[in-house]
Amino acid sequence: MGKIVDGIYYGSDNMPAHRGIVKLDGNFYYAEKDGIIVKDRDKIVHREMAHNLVPSGTYYFDEEGKLVPDSYVKPNKRKKRIITRLRANKRIKHISSAIATILVLVFVVILATNPNIFNFNRNNQNNLGSSNDNSGIVLPNFNEDVYLCSGVMQKFYEGEITLEQAVKLNSNPYSPFVFEYKLPDNYRGLLTLSEDKEYSNPQKYVLNFESTTLTIDNLKTDKQYFYSVEITDSDDNVTTSEGAFKTADTNRFISIPGLYNTRDIGGYNTLYGKKIKQGLLIRGTEIDGLVENKYFLKDKEDVGQFNFVCDLDLRSNTIINANYKSRLGDDVTHKFYDSPMYGGIFANESAPLLKEIFTDLADKNNYPMYLHCTYGADRTGTIIFLLQGLLGVSEEDMKNEYKLTGFFISNYVNGTNLNGIYGGIEGVRGNTINEKIENYFVESIGITKAQIQTIRDIFLD
Q: Which amino acid is at 92?
A: I
Cβ 239 vs Cβ 231: under 8 Å: yes
Query: pLDDT of 37-75, one tens digit each?
Result: 776 655 555 544 344 466 666 777 777 778 888 777 765
User: Is residue 287 packed enough to be buried (19+ CB in 10 Å), middle (13-18) or exposed (0-12)?
Assistant: buried
Pairing of strands 252-253, 263-264: antiparallel
CATH of the domain at 261: 3.90.190.10
120 and 37 share a domain? no
260 and 185 share a domain? no
Cα separation, 17 vs 31, whole angstroms = 10
Cβ 170 vs Cβ 152: under 8 Å: yes
Cβ 82 vs Cβ 146: under 8 Å: yes
Cα separation, 242 vs 228, whole angstroms = 4
pLDDT in single tens digits along all 461 residues of the chain? 445 454 444 555 555 554 567 777 778 777 764 556 776 655 555 544 344 466 666 777 777 778 888 777 765 544 333 333 333 344 434 444 555 455 545 444 444 444 433 333 322 333 344 444 456 899 998 999 999 999 999 999 999 999 999 999 998 999 999 999 999 999 999 999 999 999 999 999 999 999 999 999 999 999 999 999 999 999 999 999 999 999 999 999 999 999 999 999 999 999 989 999 999 999 999 999 999 999 999 999 999 999 999 999 999 999 987 789 999 999 999 999 999 999 999 999 999 999 999 999 999 999 999 999 999 999 999 999 999 999 999 999 999 999 999 999 999 999 999 999 999 999 999 999 999 999 999 999 999 999 999 999 999 98
22 and 104 share a domain? no
| Structural domain includes residue 320 | yes
Q: How many residues does the chain have?
A: 461
217 and 263 share a domain? no
What phi and psi, each to the nearest 5 degrees, are found at residue 86?
Answer: -65, -45
- Give the helix/strand (H/E) hosting 100: helix 97-113
265 and 240 share a domain? no
311 and 241 share a domain? no
User: 3-state class of 44 per DSSP?
Assistant: strand
365 and 226 share a domain? no
174 and 260 share a domain? no
| Structural domain includes residue 224 | yes
Q: pTM, whole model, 2 decimals?
A: 0.72
| Structural domain includes residue 188 | yes
Q: Closest Cα partner for 436 from 386, 379, 400?
A: 386
| E runs forming strands in 66-173 | none
Cβ 435 vs Cβ 344: under 8 Å: no
CATH of the domain at 206: 2.60.40.10
> Pick from 246, 281, 306: which residue ends a domain?
246
| Structural domain includes residue 71 | no
Cα separation, 299 vs 256, whole angstroms = 9
What phi and psi, each to the nearest 5 degrees, are found at residue 164?
Answer: -60, -40
- Give the helix/strand (H/E) hosting 102: helix 97-113
Helices (H) and strands (E) in the chain, counts: 10, 19
Q: Which amino acid is at 6?
A: D
31 and 177 share a domain? no
User: 3-state class of 402 per DSSP?
Assistant: helix
123 and 163 share a domain? yes
Q: Which domain holds residue 228?
A: 85-246
Q: In this predicted structure, what is the pLDDT of residue 164?
A: 96
232 and 260 share a domain? no
Q: Which amino acid is at 290?
A: L
- Give the helix/strand (H/E) hosting 456: helix 449-459
CA 20 to chain centre: 24
Q: Closest Cα partner for 376 from 461, 261, 279?
A: 261
Domain count, the chain: 3
Cβ 376 vs Cβ 262: under 8 Å: yes
> Pick from 183, 213, 246: which residue ends a domain?
246
Query: pLDDT of 406-445, one tens digit each?
Result: 999 999 999 999 999 999 999 999 999 999 999 999 999 9
| Structural domain includes residue 76 | no
18 and 157 share a domain? no
Three-point CA angle 408, 414, 420, nearest 5°: 105
> Pick from 229, 246, 263: which residue ends a domain?
246
What phi and psi, each to the nearest 5 degrees, are found at residue 194?
Answer: -150, 155
| Structural domain includes residue 72 | no
The residues that bridge with 253 in the sheet, in sequence order, are: 263
Helical packing angle, 449-459 and 350-361, nearest 10°: 40
| Structural domain includes residue 425 | yes
Give 234's DSSP letter: T
The residues that bridge with 193 in the sheet, in sequence order, are: 203, 227
User: 3-state class of 4 per DSSP?
Assistant: strand
Q: In this predicted structure, what is the pLDDT of residue 69?
A: 81
Q: In this predicted structure, what is the pLDDT of residue 56?
A: 60
Residue 33 neighbours by CB under 8 Å, 6+ apart: 4, 7, 19, 395, 422, 433
| Structural domain includes residue 65 | no
Cβ 17 vs Cβ 2: under 8 Å: yes
